[in-house]
Amino acid sequence: MKYTNFKVDIDSDGIALVTWDMPDKSMNVFTEEVMKELDAIVDQVAKDEAIKGAVITSGKDTFSGGADLTMLKRMFQIFQEEKAKDPKKAVELLFETTGRMGGLFRKLETCGKPWVSAINGTCMGGAFEMSLACHGRVVSDDPAVKMALPEVKVGIFPGAGGTQRVPRLTNQQDALQMMTTGSSLTAARARALGLVHEIAPAKKLVEAARKMIRDGLKPVQPWDEKGFKLPGGAIYSAAGANLWPAATAILRRETYGNYPGAAFILKSVYEGLLVPFDTALKIEQRYFTRILQTTEAGMMIRSLFVSLQELNKGARRPDDVKPTKFKKIGVVGAGFMGASIAYVTARAGIPVVLLDQSVEAAEKGKAHSAELITREIQKGKAKAEDKDKLLEMITASASYDDLEGADLVIEAVFEDREVKRAVTEKAEAVLKPGAIFASNTSTLPITGLAKVSVRPKNFIGIHFFSPVEKMMLVEVIMGKKTSDKALAVALDYVRAIKKTPIVVNDTRGFYVNRCVLRYMSEAYNMLVEGIPPAMIENAARMAGMPVGPLALNDETAIDLSQKILKATLADLGPKAVDPRHVELVDMLVDKYDRRGRKNGKGFYDYPPKPAKKHLWPELKTLYPQQDAAGVDVEVLKQRFLVTIALEAARVMEEGIVTDPREADVGSILAFGFAPYTGGTLSYIDGMGAGKFVELAKSLQKKYGQQFKAPKLLQDMAEKGETFYERFNPYRGEVGKAA
Ligand code: NAD
């Protein structure tokens, strides 16, 4: 039989080698066609008497990335369409659809012939669930191979048998830990957990899998054997009694009840382990049907799976510009940011010239790369030989002549217009006419900086976040005259260093910092009102923010906030700043010398390690404190999310960000905006513009003008529109740079 996505070769021992190798795809994924073909292959293996068993592997470097995003998107679309016609029927249809993959894997494991999964590369989600349904699993010893059930990270959970097979193969605690965090397993860890049977040298992987079948691998899973016992003990056992009360408490501590996907994992495992396997699969399917109907799952899949991948693949890239192959990139300014930008560039295999005022300063910047790669080697994330290769890629220099021939130069010199002007002129004097010049400025509008450029079309902003090596987002800023070519080159660069770009039009603070400032500013308001500082921090985390606003302000530095307030006052006048904020920040910086983490004193105190940071006790004495019992935490949570979301809506209204995918993804990647909401705009869409505007109005009445909804939102509320309808990114209108 011929298949499009698989090749089936039967050897002289009667073992079928099923090689999954999808044409025109760099990675295997589960599509409807793949499932249909696999179903037919299972039938073929079961029915053909000459076939003794099957080994399934991948013809690509990786095994598989799991489910295809277009399949998920279609499933949501069909559900929404059906729901509009007949909600009950729509749920029934969804239940049936969600059971298809799990049903196929169950069919595979009960087909009567042994199956072995030969995991030759990274194996994620549905593909790992399929492997768990195989009777044997062999993994390559290549250190790059990772296995995971990461569904929880996009708001769902492993719904094709994963929640049932994992805790029947390993103890429940590790099973819960693995699935509720979505963390990756190395081959050794998977072996230690009992999730795979063997680790084999990459070249002998398929042979090792074949041998399992030749050696008489039983085509029956442990849980289908009579007398099967759970490896970690039953739910109602001493071990179970120890685990489960703590598990629910830990879940609450980690998620504040914001992630139904994680909660449903606990429910599926707990309930599923009390019943026979086929009933357990039904329980999982029921919860999976429910999770898909939650706002959280819909929003998270859209932002963190679909949109993220689309942006990474260049959704905003002008397609009439040829892709750039970078032969050389210049980084001017080898300080805090420049040194790290050079590192991520060289790590992507692109030669870098790292330039500073003296060779010593440039060398110091280069030494940062040596430190970072050494840490990567220690963590097992890079090989020892990578260090020399990386350092060879970076030329430390003090001569602008070395920038000659660069395709792109990124400046990260002092935040000073004069210094930046001089650097732009000197670099442009040696650059080829088509080269792109980018500024990493965090506050100076690009259009203004481009005025000193002799080719403003080639001038663009590439705004990194710190720490550069960890932060996945890059804001690409369009000046008034920036061309499509410059945008394409910037996006090609961001793609080359494997980060996610969002395209932003020029404005004060761009997108991310405008939102972050709102977050911190609302915390200042609360402090002034006398809300206990610990409540402010806790409420923010309960709302889903990864770091409290006061802790965040300590990281970014309180004296920087003071500088920003002063600059805003000077540029926009007294109405643009709240005098109470100026008073607070001046008091902290000028009176108490509390500048943030960098001087060990901010909103928090930073005692020497191993002691942990704690809120500065005197903070409570600065303003008369309210009684905590009388403060409504729900309102505090709303204030944080609403003030940020309103700023994102203003940014859309002003045309600073034009594509809602970028506002959403950017907000999660840059400052961790409550990921369960799907991002700033999805938070509004999820609630509905009408309800959101009502909420904003009620907050405005009590807490001030920062909650005034922009006209755009009021209009959307009247029309019942969402951001993804109004600024539909798939309409083709916003696919181009503004
Ligand atoms: P930094 O002071 O650590 O580094 C600046 C470097 O530029 C220094 O090494 C300095 O010697 C060098 N330099 C100054 N004038 C130069 C010249 N004429 N030629 C060559 N090199 C010169 O500053 P930083 O924190 O790395 O910030 C750099 C830029 O990045 C600024 O525009 C800043 O706004 C922006 N930025 C900073 C952050 C952050 O978190 N620090 C985040 C995003 C963007």
CA–CA separation, 379 vs 615, rounded Å? 32
User: Would the pLDDT of 266 be above 80?
Assistant: yes
Write out pLDDT tens, residues 436-461.
999 999 989 999 999 999 999 999 99
Domain boundaries, the chain: 6-216+230-293, 329-508, 513-726
pLDDT attached to residue 232: 87
User: Would the pLDDT of 674 be above 90?
Assistant: yes
Which of 356, 420, 444 gets mutated to test ligand 1 (max ligand atoms within 8 A of its CB)? 356
Q: Which CATH number fits domain 513-726: 3.40.30.10, 1.10.1040.50, 1.10.220.150, 3.30.420.40?
A: 1.10.1040.50
Tell me if 113 sits within 8 A of 44, measured CB to CB. Answer: no
User: Would the pLDDT of 637 be above 90?
Assistant: yes
Is 236 in a helix, a strand, or coil? coil
| Cα 337 to middle of ligand 1, angstroms | 6
Mean pLDDT of 7-15: 97
Is 713 in a helix, a strand, or coil? helix
Residue 423 Cα: closest atom of ligand 1: 18
DSSP state of 672: -
SS3 for 261-280, per residue? HHHHHHHHHHHHCCCCHHHH
- The yes-or-no answer on residue 463 being catalytic is yes
pLDDT attached to residue 71: 81
- More confidently predicted of 382 and 622: 622
- The yes-or-no answer on residue 513 being catalytic is yes
Position 735 confidence tier, pLDDT thresholds 50, 70, 90: very low
Is 517 in a helix, a strand, or coil? helix
User: Would the pLDDT of 731 be above 90?
Assistant: no
Q: What's the gap between Cα 136 and its chain centre?
A: 32
CA–CA separation, 288 vs 637, rounded Å? 28
Write out pLDDT tens, residues 14-58.
999 999 999 989 999 999 999 999 999 999 999 999 999 999 999
Which of 442, 443, 444, 560 gets mutated to test ligand 1 (max ligand atoms within 8 A of its CB)? 442
User: Would the pLDDT of 664 be above 80?
Assistant: yes
- The yes-or-no answer on residue 583 being catalytic is no
User: Would the pLDDT of 495 be above 80?
Assistant: yes
Tell me if 102 sits within 8 A of 284, measured CB to CB. Answer: yes
Burial class (CB in 10 A: 0-12, 13-18, 19+), 646: buried
Burial class (CB in 10 A: 0-12, 13-18, 19+), 534: middle
pLDDT attached to residue 426: 97
| Cα 339 to middle of ligand 1, angstroms | 9
Burial class (CB in 10 A: 0-12, 13-18, 19+), 44: middle
Kindly calculate the radius of gyration of the chain based on its CA atoms and give it in whole angstroms. Answer: 28
Write out pLDDT tens, residues 594-608.
999 999 999 999 999
Which of 340, 463, 522, 553 is labelled catalytic? 463
Tell me if 465 sits within 8 A of 473, measured CB to CB. Answer: yes
pLDDT attached to residue 21: 98
Write out pLDDT tens, residues 205-224.
999 999 999 999 999 999 99
Mean pLDDT of the residues in the chain: 95
User: Would the pLDDT of 161 be above 80?
Assistant: yes
Burial class (CB in 10 A: 0-12, 13-18, 19+), 239: middle
∠ CA 303-306-309, nearest 5°, is 105
pLDDT attached to residue 732: 62
Write out pLDDT tens, residues 325-364.
999 999 999 999 999 999 999 999 999 999 999 999 999 9
Position 76 confidence tier, pLDDT thresholds 50, 70, 90: confident
CATH match of 329-508 with 3.40.1050.10: no
Is 55 in a helix, a strand, or coil? strand
pTM, to two decimals: 0.92
CA–CA separation, 588 vs 594, rounded Å? 5
User: Would the pLDDT of 508 be above 90?
Assistant: no
User: Would the pLDDT of 736 be above 50?
Assistant: no
Mean pLDDT of 549-578: 94
CA–CA separation, 521 vs 241, rounded Å? 46
- For tokens 């987002």, the residue is 473
Residue 422 Cα: closest atom of ligand 1: 18
Is 348 in a helix, a strand, or coil? coil
Q: How many helices and strands in the chain, by DSSP H and E?
A: 31, 18
Position 734 confidence tier, pLDDT thresholds 50, 70, 90: very low
User: Would the pLDDT of 380 be above 90?
Assistant: no
Mean pLDDT of 60-68: 94
Mean pLDDT of 565-580: 92
pLDDT attached to residue 737: 34
User: Would the pLDDT of 625 be above 50?
Assistant: yes
Side chain identity, residue 475: E
- For tokens 């879940």, the residue is 251
Fold of 6-216+230-293: 2-enoyl-CoA Hydratase; Chain A, domain 1 (3.90.226)
Sheet of 115-119: strand order equals 6-10, 15-20, 53-58, 115-119, 136-140, 198-200
Secondary-structure percent of the chain, ordered helix, strand, coil, rounded to 5: 55, 10, 35
